[in-house]
Amino acid sequence: MDCGYFDAGRCTSCALMGQPYPEQLAAKQAHAEQLLAPFGVGAWHPPVASGERDYRNKAKMVVGGTVDAPTIGILDADGHGVDLQACGICSPGHRAAFPVLARFITLARIAPYDVAARRGELKHLIVTESPDGELMVRFVLRSTEPVARIRKHLPVLLAELPQARVVTVNLLPEHKAVLEGDAELVLTEQETLPMRLNDVTMHLRPQSFFQTNTAIAAALYAEARDWIRELAPDSAWDLYSGVGGFALHLAGDGAGSAGPEITGIETSVEAVASAELSRTDAALHRLRFAAGDATEFALAASSAPDLVVVNPPRRGIGAELAGWLEQSAGISHVLYSSCNAASLAKDLRAMPSYRPVRARVFDMFPQTSHFEVMVLLERR
């Protein structure tokens, strides 16, 4: 894939841009195999390739420029806006929405935030597209000052962008390098964005995490379901469950059976609310979600399940949870989905009683060095 922004030096976020995609994928596979070689992986499945472009379902764009000429993209080293509305890894739905949103910024007189001067209002636009082409649009603001104008002109935005099903304002009053704040104001009647993957529909709330690449996420969850179906566990935990992607796929196993009894644990209250809505819609009675810390939940539990699924952030599950899994003899299998193979390897060193019987790379992030790798661990 070629990118004019990258070639011109305007954006270098995609570090592998211009490298032939087969080479990217082969290098990721080789890196994963190298890191996990000490653990004797029983079988490596072929890597799951992504489309090279248009793959992101979530665009996290910095707003710069002026109210009459806003930029949607990133900031340069001097804090000036760099417009990236034609970014090739964003979805076509994103690229179609950006000009409409730029016009709306001018119409509603939402002044872009000036980082150097620490004035203005609009810091970021976060736009998520569902597999059905519907959008969630979030305006990240410094204060509530523009909210009345956004409400006033919202019918114009919805008329020009009818695929926008959820529109919100997120408040980030602090001057710091984060994407969003804690407070969220939903401006539309619909509060969640349905994300339909395989035969499962997940409801995405504004501050809930969802895998960036819809097609690869669908492949990841389907593969997990296939691997676990062969084991037929009666009980399972999904730790770091997010909006419930793994748990919802395992609870309804695609073969018509009820699936195992599953508990999903996630720190984000928003994500748990999303997962519970999806569970209720699907009438999955052997599945429940709760808000909490994964490690604290495991250590406080009076009994352990047959299977544990973990999908942690880049830091991995850590020594305490890894040690608990190592000592929990009743857990015969662990399904570990990792976005950082280095932290996965570190965690595996703390769990010598488990052997990776199968593994697979899922290329969630083409044009970058990042990827997802899923391993099935079996107690020796």
Whole-angstrom Cα distance, residue 205 to residue 194?
Answer: 9
The three-state secondary structure class of 32 is helix
Whole-angstrom Cα distance, residue 282 to residue 298?
Answer: 26
Query: Strands 235-239 and 307-310, how do they pair?
Result: parallel
Tokens 């996965």 sit at which residue? 344
Q: How far is CA 296 from the centre of its chain?
A: 23
Q: What are the Cα distances from residue 277, in Å, to 113, 147, 315?
A: 35, 28, 29
Residues catalogued as catalytic? 339
Whole-angstrom Cα distance, residue 256 to residue 48?
Answer: 26
- Residue 254: its pLDDT value, please? 46
Closest by CA position to 171, among listed 145, 202, 201, 194:
145
Give yes or no for a contact between 150 and 101, defined as CB atoms under 8 angstroms apart. no
Whole-angstrom Cα distance, residue 356 to residue 344?
Answer: 11
Strands (E), 250-325: 261-266, 287-291, 307-310
Q: What are the Cα distances from residue 176, in Å, to 5, 96, 115, 162, 210?
A: 26, 30, 9, 33, 23
In this structure, what DSSP letter does residue 112 have? B
- Residue 153: its pLDDT value, please? 98
In this structure, what DSSP letter does residue 134 have? -
Give yes or no for a contact between 202 and 274, defined as CB atoms under 8 angstroms apart. yes
pLDDT in tens, 268-312: 999 999 999 999 999 999 999 999 999 999 999 999 999 999 999
Q: How far is CA 93 from the centre of its chain?
A: 18
Give yes or no for a contact between 340 and 316, defined as CB atoms under 8 angstroms apart. yes
- Residue 259: its pLDDT value, please? 76
pLDDT in tens, 250-272: 997 544 456 799 999 999 999 99
- Residue 255: its pLDDT value, please? 47
Whole-angstrom Cα distance, residue 52 to residue 71?
Answer: 25
pLDDT beneath 70, residues of the chain: 253-258
Tokens 């926008």 sit at which residue? 164
Give the pTM. 0.95
Quickly list DSSP for 172-217: --S-SS-S--SEEEE-SS---EEEEETTEEEEEPTT----SBHHHH
- Residue 257: its pLDDT value, please? 56
